[in-house]
Amino acid sequence: MLTTKQVIFRIIILMAIVEFLIMIVFGMVLTDLSPFTHAIIDATALVFITTPIIYFNIIKPYNKAKEKLIAQQSKMAILLNTENKKINSLLKKTIKTIMMLVEERDPYTNGHQYRVAKLAQAIAQKNNLPKKEVHQIYLGALIHDIGKVRIPMEILTSPTRLKGPEFELIKLHPSVGHKIASTAKFSNTILDIILHHHERLNGSGYPDGLSKNEVLLGARIVAVADVFESMTTGRPYRPYPLSIEDAIDELQKGVGTLYDQNVVTTCVDLITKDGFILPSLPYLQKDV
pLDDT digits (tens, 9 = 90+) for 40-65: 766 666 666 666 666 666 677 777 88
Same domain, 181 and 224: yes
- Among residues 68, 67, 127, which one has the least CA distance to residue 265? 127
Are the CB atoms for 173 and 151 separated by under 8 Å? yes
- Domain membership flag for residue 87: no
As a whole number of Å, the end-to-end CA separation of the chain is: 56
Same domain, 45 and 165: no
Average pLDDT, the chain: 82
Host domain of residue 31: 4-79
- Domain membership flag for residue 86: no
The predicted pLDDT at position 47 comes to 64
pLDDT at 281 over 60: no
DSSP output for 69-114? HHHHHHHHHHHHHHHHHHHHHHHHHHHHHHHHHHHTT-GGGTTHHH
Question: How far, CA to CA in Å, does 168 sit from each of 40, 131, 163, 208, 248?
Answer: 94, 36, 8, 13, 27
The predicted pLDDT at position 73 comes to 83
Same domain, 122 and 59: no
Same domain, 146 and 14: no
Q: Which residues of 179-192 are buried (b: 16+ CB within 10 A; e: fewer)?
A: ebbeeeebbebbbb
- Domain membership flag for residue 14: yes
**37 Rama class: left (phi>0) / alpha (psi -120 to 50) / beta:** alpha
Same domain, 155 and 72: no
Per-residue pLDDT of 64-106, as tens digits, reads 888 888 888 888 888 777 777 777 777 777 777 777 777 766 6
| H helix intervals, the chain | 4-25, 27-30, 35-54, 60-103, 112-126, 131-142, 153-156, 164-170, 173-182, 188-196, 217-231, 244-253, 261-272
The number of residues making up the chain comes to 288
- Domain membership flag for residue 92: no
Same domain, 118 and 241: yes
Same domain, 47 and 113: no
SS3 call for 204:
coil
Domain total in the chain? 2
Same domain, 113 and 160: yes
Distance between CA 126 and CA 276 in Å, rounded? 12
Same domain, 124 and 196: yes
Residue 172: other Cβ atoms inside 10 A: 15
Per-residue pLDDT of 163-219, as tens digits, reads 888 889 999 999 999 998 998 888 999 999 999 999 999 999 999 999 999 999 999
Per-residue pLDDT of 149-161, as tens digits, reads 888 888 887 877 8
- Domain membership flag for residue 98: no
Residue 230: band (very low, low, confident or very high) from pLDDT cuts 50, 70, 90: very high
Same domain, 178 and 224: yes
The pTM of this model reads 0.70
Question: How far, CA to CA in Å, does 144 sit from each of 41, 69, 167?
Answer: 81, 45, 18
Are the CB atoms for 152 and 106 separated by under 8 Å? no
Same domain, 27 and 121: no
- Domain membership flag for residue 88: no
Same domain, 166 and 51: no
pLDDT at 284 over 50: no
Residue 12: band (very low, low, confident or very high) from pLDDT cuts 50, 70, 90: low
